[in-house]
Chain A
Amino acid sequence: MIELLMTVFSATFFVTVIRTTTPLLFATLGGLISDLSGALNVALEGMMLISALTAVIISVYAPWYVAVLSGICAGAMLGALMAFFHLRLKADIILVGFAVNILATGGTVFALSQATGGDKGTSINLQSKAVPAVNLSFLDAIPVVGPTLRSLLSDHSILSWLALFMVFAVWYFLYRTPYGLWLRGVGEYPAAPEAAGINVTKVRAWSLVASGALAGIGGAQLAMFNYIGFTRDMTAGRGFIALGAVLLGARHPVGAMLAALLFGIFEALAVVMPNLFNWIPGEMIQTIPFVVTVLALILFSYRAQRARQMRTLTKI
């Protein structure tokens, strides 16, 4: 137990949490945007996967930022594809999402084998690049807290910092710009923006595109930092976990961040625990994030219910 606590309160653990959270957080923000616009995006998983592959392949030939950008574009294009089928051809959004996921599992392997000359599993014979980490060793100069600060803040992926910024940016967009107002209005009660002359379909389409772009950055982080390279199915369910995080996070960017962080923490715990507690079956350790989500969800919903009751009180 002491060992566990020491591990959990170490700087290494913190860094691990940030690293595992980052891809999830991007996907969660992506899920949040489309969810707020009224479309449940179950394709986050597939979007991440395709973006991961795109980023890896492009990074062989171009600088890392071009690779990340192309990952974003790939995600955005999938969002556009979903928008086309869902909004134009009126296909059910959940089905479209599942189709994108299926497309991604097969399509990435096919594309990978084309890109690597026959390798269907991994990209190890491609020299793909990494997203740089941000070195803050100058923090050492600060007296007393300097080294601790550095060990906590230094060496995170540049995209982790971007993720933090994106939480703010998404919040700003949603709650401080007119377009955010439109988007939330479209999601909550489309008839209102419609009657106000806003093109509801267009708003939804752009939300899906943005959703894909954000999931795309998540995919890029996963394949250019958490692990450098691509292997088949490497997203391993993270897109679905992000979907859970959207709802767990009360459909608010800060909530989304906290929910993604919660998953990140438990993913990190599941990583350090086998080394500390040999006697716990591996499967049981792997259930931790899921059990925690269910419990957190119940607790959170229960409290939200109570809060709603409190609000009715103030209203009367």
Chain B
Amino acid sequence: QEYTKENPLKVALVVHGNLGDKSFFDSAAAGLDRAEADLPVDVTVIEAGNDRGRWQPALADATDQGYDVVIAGTWEMTGFMAELAPDYPETKFIVFDDAPDFTAGNLGNMLAINYRVSTAAYLAGYAAAKISESGKLGEILGVEGTTVVEFALGFEQGAKAANPDVQVTRAVAGSFTDPAKGKELALAQFAQGVDVVFPIAGGTGIGALQAARDEGKLAVGVDSDQAEIFAPTDPAQADVIFTSVEKKVGDSLYTALQQTLDGTAPYGTNLILGLADGAVGIAKNSYYEKLVPADVRAEVDEQEAKIIAGEITVDTGMN
């Protein structure tokens, strides 16, 4: 079937939460926005909110409404999607950041996209340990869930690789929407000697970034290039984010839609994207160059090459 601007591919992104997290969902939505601009697709974003009871209905409703492609993310949605997919063979389903069990063979219309995000976090951890003067790094987690812990695992392993004596403290905020608490947690870590903080906590993490700005400490951004996000309105904030661990959800969804249009998308499989695919990585922007010494940057590149070559195995909590 040919899709045109007049008769576009109808795509729904079901967000099990709300837009505005400045990372995961926003990144997915941004990728789809770009797809809408460039390709013959028509995108609808459905926000299902924070009530867990509403997530399956939102997904099912989108499917019922006759969208050609229904997209959702994480393990929270995989099960629901895998239950729906066999009943709607005409509809295509894309889940990112998790994968269903494809072995049963009844999910030929479903595509899973996963990111080896711990490999990128490894690089950030490596750089962070190298530039830390105190040898103490801090992590601030929203909750201790898969996707969040995945970042922390890589970050810790990379830090240890750079400096075996490094201390990494993990604090859990218990919320993704409490920036004041994120800020307090970061301030407490700074008071205990931490000089690089890695918040993996959505809105809560933004508070931690602000603490780094106010205290003149360094921070690692998460999901998207957060220095770039802050640069226009809050340059002082951007100035302390020496890199970000990027998970390019939007890019990968863009590609997946492109492939869906030309029929090359590998539906029925689990696509695992890593450093080599450019789907994850650390932001090597002007702040990176300014704040990370050249020799460290060279070492990081070396580590990256080794990971891609399979010489270093990075821990992962995902299967």
A–B direct touch in complex (beta carbons closer than 8 A): yes
A→B interface (CB under 8 Å): 7, 10, 12, 16, 19-20, 23, 109, 112-113, 119-122, 124-127, 222, 226-229, 231-234, 236, 267-268, 271-272, 274-276, 278, 282-283, 286
| Nearest B residue (CB) for A127 | B233
Establish whether residues A125 and B233, one from each chain, have CB atoms under 8 Å apart when the complex forms: yes
Give the contacting residue for A124; candidates B22, B170, B175, B181; CB below 8 A: B22
Q: How far in angstroms is the closest Cβ of chain A from B17?
A: 10
Establish whether residues A121 and B22, one from each chain, have CB atoms under 8 Å apart when the complex forms: yes
| Nearest A residue (CB) for B207 | A227
Q: How far in angstroms is the closest Cβ of chain B from A274?
A: 4
Given contacts A121-B203, A236-B175, A282-B172, contact A227 B22 (CB under 8 A): no
> 16 A-B pairs, CB-CB below 8 angstroms?
A109-B18, A109-B20, A120-B18, A121-B22, A122-B22, A122-B203, A124-B206, A231-B207, A232-B18, A233-B177, A233-B203, A234-B179, A271-B181, A271-B187, A275-B188, A282-B171
Residues of chain A within 8 A of B189, CB atoms compared: 275
| Nearest A residue (CB) for B179 | A227
Proximity string of chain B (165-182) to chain A, C-beta cutoff 8 Å, 1 when within and 0 when not: 000011110110111111
Give the contacting residue for A275; candidates B171, B178, B183, B210; CB below 8 A: B171
Q: How far in angstroms is the closest Cβ of chain A from B169?
A: 5
Any A CB within 8 A of the CB of B230:
yes
Give the contacting residue for A231; candidates B144, B172, B191, B203; CB below 8 A: B203
10 more A-B residue pairs beyond the given contacts A227-B210, A234-B180, A271-B187, with a C-beta to C-beta distance below 8 A = A19-B184, A112-B20, A125-B232, A227-B179, A232-B177, A234-B179, A271-B184, A272-B188, A272-B191, A275-B171
Residues of chain A within 8 A of B187, CB atoms compared: 12, 16, 271
Residues of chain B within 8 A of A124, CB atoms compared: 22, 206, 229-230, 233-234, 237
Given contacts A234-B177, A236-B181, A274-B185, contact A121 B21 (CB under 8 A): yes
Residues of chain B within 8 A of A232, CB atoms compared: 18, 20, 177, 203
Establish whether residues A236 and B178, one from each chain, have CB atoms under 8 Å apart when the complex forms: yes
Q: How far in angstroms is the closest Cβ of chain B from A286?
A: 5
Establish whether residues B178 and A120, one from each chain, have CB atoms under 8 Å apart when the complex forms: no
Establish whether residues B207 and A127, one from each chain, have CB atoms under 8 Å apart when the complex forms: no
A272 to B187 alpha-carbon distance, docked (Å): 9
Residues of chain B within 8 A of A12, CB atoms compared: 187, 191
| Nearest B residue (CB) for A287 | B174
Q: How far in angstroms is the closest Cβ of chain A from B211?
A: 9
Give the contacting residue for B174; candidates A125, A222, A268, A283; CB below 8 A: A283
Establish whether residues A121 and B26, one from each chain, have CB atoms under 8 Å apart when the complex forms: yes
A276 to B194 alpha-carbon distance, docked (Å): 12
Establish whether residues B185 and A120, one from each chain, have CB atoms under 8 Å apart when the complex forms: no
Any A CB within 8 A of the CB of B19:
yes
Any A CB within 8 A of the CB of B154:
no
Residues of chain B within 8 A of A234, CB atoms compared: 177-180, 203
Residues of chain A within 8 A of B138, CB atoms compared: 275
A232 to B171 alpha-carbon distance, docked (Å): 21
* CB-based closest 6 A-B pairs: A121-B20, A282-B172, A120-B20, A274-B171, A231-B203, A236-B178
Q: How far in angstroms is the closest Cβ of chain A from B182?
A: 8
Most buried by A among B22, B181, B194, B230: B181
Establish whether residues B172 and A274, one from each chain, have CB atoms under 8 Å apart when the complex forms: yes
A119 to B175 alpha-carbon distance, docked (Å): 20
Residues of chain A within 8 A of B169, CB atoms compared: 274-275, 278
Residues of chain A within 8 A of B65, CB atoms compared: none
Establish whether residues A119 and B183, one from each chain, have CB atoms under 8 Å apart when the complex forms: no
Residues of chain A within 8 A of B264, CB atoms compared: none
Residues of chain B within 8 A of A112, CB atoms compared: 20
Give the contacting residue for A227; candidates B19, B144, B180, B237; CB below 8 A: B180
Residues of chain B within 8 A of A109, CB atoms compared: 18, 20
A55 to B19 alpha-carbon distance, docked (Å): 22
Residues of chain B within 8 A of A125, CB atoms compared: 232-233
| Nearest B residue (CB) for A52 | B180
Residues of chain A within 8 A of B19, CB atoms compared: 120-121
Any A CB within 8 A of the CB of B7:
no
A109 to B180 alpha-carbon distance, docked (Å): 18
| Nearest A residue (CB) for B19 | A120
- Find residues 205-225 in chain B having any chain A CB closer than 8 Å to their own CB: 206-207, 210
Residues of chain A within 8 A of B313, CB atoms compared: none
Q: How far in angstroms is the closest Cβ of chain A from B44?
A: 16
- Find residues 8-30 in chain B having any chain A CB closer than 8 Å to their own CB: 18-22, 26
Given contacts A12-B191, A120-B18, A271-B184, contact A126 B233 (CB under 8 A): yes
Residues of chain B within 8 A of A276, CB atoms compared: 192
Given contacts A234-B203, A282-B171, contact A226 B180 (CB under 8 A): yes
Give the contacting residue for B234; candidates A120, A127, A274; CB below 8 A: A127
Q: How far in angstroms is the closest Cβ of chain A from B33?
A: 11
Residues of chain B within 8 A of A121, CB atoms compared: 18-22, 26, 202-203
A282 to B141 alpha-carbon distance, docked (Å): 10
Give the contacting residue for A282; candidates B20, B26, B144, B179; CB below 8 A: B144
Residues of chain A within 8 A of B203, CB atoms compared: 121-122, 231-234
Residues of chain A within 8 A of B18, CB atoms compared: 109, 120-121, 232
| Nearest A residue (CB) for B182 | A227
